[in-house]
Structure 1
């Protein structure tokens, strides 16, 4: 597996489902495994260790609605003792501990506006979904093309 996108959140709580929506939009694209999730679980370490690159997508609460933040992630070994809340860093640490391999990883957050019961995203978050999906497709497909061309040009 080249790239793994884990989009998580509650699609029944408005903008909290933005990670889910991004993952759904990326499903079926070559070289990308996109998985919409309600929450991160320890079992996801098995998926993570097989990827070259992992991208987590989640909603943020604080900030300007629709704002996109990208953060480079590292394994969080200190959080391994807590089992009730799985963070991306803890899952990376689990992959490293259990499988001896931890891929590069990033967290993309999109600040939400509405977290009430709803199955639709607010307009600023919808716009950000288009931007994030376009960015990820360009970046991840670009990596595949350059890997395929490596040594043949």
Structure 2
């Protein structure tokens, strides 16, 4: 099983950097489980990432979100969506990348978005304690999801 973890956000905007913090934790845990993991981190998604996703079985995007989720995070499966989220390529989202894969004739991997509630996006390199609480819960939720996913895969 090959997994690609993409953590993104601005390391100088408080909670926006939580994806950069959580992605390596998720990757490290998966490696401890014997999973082949590739990790990428950056400030924004890039169209050329589709080539990194091409041969993966599972992709996990980890990012901050301005929405306040009840548990401090949301874990959801993604499908392709060709619409840009803004007016330019800098505003493309994860679903747009999956759509690009479709347009290029690539097989899309199972894709998850792990969104963590951000509380402050001011200039600082420190993640707020509220966001860190959500990050811990998000990491645990992913671990639970992974164990269930692997159990289903082994049952097939």
Q: Same fold (TM over 0.5)?
A: yes
Gaps of 5+ in 1: none
Residue aligning to 1:11: 11
Give distance in 2, aligned partners of 1:46 and 1:132.
Answer: 27
TM-score (norm. length: structure 1) = 0.80
Gaps of 5+ in 2: none
Deviation at 1:66, TM superposition (A): 6.7
- CA 1:146 to 1:16, structure 2 compared with 1: closer, same or farther past 3 Å? same
- CA 1:102 to 1:62, structure 2 compared with 1: closer, same or farther past 3 Å? same
- CA 1:142 to 1:33, structure 2 compared with 1: closer, same or farther past 3 Å? farther
Give distance in 2, aligned partners of 1:15 and 1:111.
Answer: 8
Deviations 1:80-122 (CA, angstroms, capped at 9, x unpaired): x953322101101112222421112121211111211111211
Aligned length: 149
The answer (yes or no) to whether the contact 1:48–1:92 under 8 Å persists in 2 is no
Of residues 26, 34, 39 in structure 2, which corresponds to 1:34?
A: 39
Give distance in 2, aligned partners of 1:140 and 1:20.
Answer: 20
TM-score (norm. length: structure 2) = 0.79
